[in-house]
Amino acid sequence: MPEVINKKVVAIEYPRHEETIESNNYTFRVAAMPGAKAVEVSVNESGWLPCRKSGGFWWYDWSGYGSGEHGVAARVQLADGRQLITENRFFKVELDREGLNRTGGERRSLSPRQARQYLVRPDLHKHQARKFVVTVPNQPPVVRRLTELLSQEGVNIDSLLMETSGDVASFRFLLEEADGLRETLENEGFHVVDDRVFRLDLPNRPGEIDRLTRRLVDLGVSIRYLYGTSHGKTTKVVFAVDRPEAAAEAVKELDRRASAVAA
């Protein structure tokens, strides 16, 4: 599938998803398709900052930040004037009290939050799913190859959304487990972003979404994104948060309440 590999649109290479940065200076690395006119990054949904091009990649030197949770998105301007934006890449910064990494180097590791999130804990795992976003050129043979791979891997998709923007198509889908799927897709040249999300069935009536968001706010949990659909007496909600271990408590409470209402 060289066509897919050669037409990667835009992808944040570093930082990795849920990475922990322990240096007071860091350089973002973005890969963009050949012919891209410009690439910019936006940190924590602030203004767009121009990247420099070198060695086939686009770079932005980041400094002056503090410890905590952060997010970065990249935007590419194509030759025809169109602009395409990535989803936010979330990561963490941990600096010592002087704001410096004593080793002077830049170390990358998984955050404790990621380790907890991916452990098979009943309170998290029961209501969680994997969300994949696969970006491909919007060409029938390429799209067909993606669906063929999913079929060959025996992937049972819970929900699916396909969006197109010019010559780019994005597939977003949920599934229970994804053993080796990301590696399989990337070996075929597909650009893949995956994430853990919560799934929750709520009664289909006014006030239920407000009840969910209010409980998350009470727990100090920030929602990264939320969407859902209603059918009959049930509203199915999918959402991602910055602190899944804390959100699990709200999810369990609301699930018990929804079960009681249904009974």
Mean pLDDT of the chain: 79
For residue 125, the model assigns a pLDDT of 60
Q: What is the pTM of this model?
A: 0.52
Say if residue 34 is in the same domain as residue 72.
Answer: yes
Tens digits of residue pLDDT in 203-247: 999 999 999 999 999 988 888 888 888 989 899 999 988 888 888
Residue 68 CB partners (closer than 8 Å, separation 6+): 92, 93
Which of 114, 148, 179 is the last residue in one of the domains? 114
DSSP 25-77: EEEEEEEE-TT--EEEEEETT---EEPEEETTEEEEEEES--SEEEEEEEEEE
Asked if 23 contacts 101 with a C-beta cutoff of 8 angstroms, the reply is yes
Q: What is the DSSP letter of 87?
A: P
How many Cα atoms within 13 Å fall on the side-chain side of residue 42? 14
For residue 184, the model assigns a pLDDT of 85
Count structural domains, the chain.
Answer: 2
In this structure, the strands spanning 223-231 and 168-175 are unpaired
Say if residue 92 is in the same domain as residue 142.
Answer: no
Say if residue 130 is in the same domain as residue 91.
Answer: no
Q: What's the CATH code of the domain at 107?
A: 2.60.40.10
For residue 210, the model assigns a pLDDT of 93
Residue in 207, 222, 219 with CA at minimum distance from that of residue 253: 219
Say if residue 104 is in the same domain as residue 137.
Answer: no
Residue in 182, 191, 181 with CA at minimum distance from that of residue 142: 191
Say if residue 55 is in the same domain as residue 139.
Answer: no
For residue 72, the model assigns a pLDDT of 94
Range of the structural domain that residue 193 is part of: 122-262
Say if residue 107 is in the same domain as residue 126.
Answer: no
Residue in 40, 42, 35 with CA at minimum distance from that of residue 51: 40
Sheet of 57-63, strands arranged across? 10-14, 25-32, 57-63, 52-54
Tens digits of residue pLDDT in 32-45: 888 899 999 999 88
Low-confidence ranges of the chain (pLDDT < 50): 1-7, 97-120
**Both tokens of residue 16?**
């990795």
For residue 12, the model assigns a pLDDT of 92
